[in-house]
Structure 1
Amino acid sequence: MMLKLAAPLLLVAGLATPALAQSTTRPPTMLIHGNYCGPGNNAPLPPIDALDAACARHDACTPDGGLPTKACNLRLQREAALVSRDPHQPDELRSLAGLISVGASMMMADRGASAAPAVAPAPTATPVSHDVASPETQRWSPAPVEAPSVPADEDGDESD
């Protein structure tokens, strides 16, 4: 009886062993295009086209396990937008590039890298009060809207 149960168990363990041996520590990829567009990448494979190359540059400026900088996301947004407007690219690639450009504009970015300005603003020589609006602002009013004219009837007055 034990031998009958052991044989199927050994068979299942034997089939599962190659799959376990192939596992890596590399996170799974969920690519939407080429070797670099989407979460993860297939490095060291080369990019397959201009859009994939833009995604590869984005991956290169994104730290492992971290968020890219805002500048890194803006670069992907610009480069993907250029591909989307390139008439030499296939329509399907242009559409996908437009989607990736919009997606890059909404990606989270590392706030620490862009939170502090590179150069502190120069102090103003005279203090400015923000409590009272300037005279120009106080006197501003929208342009008057003229009432639509009512056409006169046949006898010249406005009554029916």
Structure 2
Amino acid sequence: MIPTARAQETPYVNPERGTFLIHGNYCGPGNRSPRPPIDALDLACMHHDICSPPRGQIPTCACNDRLHVEAEAVSEDQTQPQSLRDTAGFVADTALALPCR
């Protein structure tokens, strides 16, 4: 079970840091929040962040594949709200298009 946590306001763009947050505290390029994940999708994004190398480097395909699998599981979970499932589907599809090595 994921502890209840507050999310940053989304969407959030910080042009100086080159970050774009689409969900929770972790989903979006350049976001490595000190806050806990707010739900299963945010947890999947946190796992991807942990797996990914520092900014400017290309993650392994295994990192992106894990994000795809975890986000897709959230998108198919009928117990989750439809809005979360829709966002998770977007993240899962996007994970397949991310560059990797």
> What TM-score comes out, normalization by structure 2 length?
0.79
5+ unaligned residues in a row in structure 1: which ranges? Answer: 1-25, 111-160
Higher relative contact order (CA 8 A, sep 6+): 2
1:1-160, aligned counterparts within 5 Å?
A: 27-65=17-55, 66-110=57-101
| Rg comparison, structure with higher value | 1
Cα offset for 1:29? Answer: 2.3
Q: Give the % identical residues.
A: 53
Give the whole-Å Cα distance in 1 for the aligned partners of 2:48 and 2:62: 10
In the alignment, is the contact (CA less than 8 A) between 2:32 and 2:49 conserved in 1?
no
Cα offset for 1:42? Answer: 4.7
Give the whole-Å Cα distance in 1 for the aligned partners of 2:18 and 2:32: 10
Give the whole-Å Cα distance in 2 for the aligned partners of 1:27 and 1:58: 19
Aligned-partner SS, 1:77: helix
Aligned-partner SS, 1:30: strand
5+ unaligned residues in a row in structure 2: which ranges? Answer: 1-15
Give the whole-Å Cα distance in 1 for the aligned partners of 2:46 and 2:32: 10
In the alignment, is the contact (CA less than 8 A) between 2:32 and 2:46 conserved in 1?
no
Aligned-partner SS, 1:105: helix
Give the whole-Å Cα distance in 2 for the aligned partners of 1:80 and 1:38: 13
Give the structure 2 partner of residue 117 of structure 1: none
Q: Over aligned residue pairs, what C-alpha RMSD do you find?
A: 1.3
> What TM-score comes out, normalization by structure 1 length?
0.51
Aligned positions, number:
85
Query: Could you list the per-position Cα deviations for residues 91-114 of structure 1 after superposition, in whole angstroms to 9, with x for gaps in the alignment?
Result: 00001101110000111002xxxx
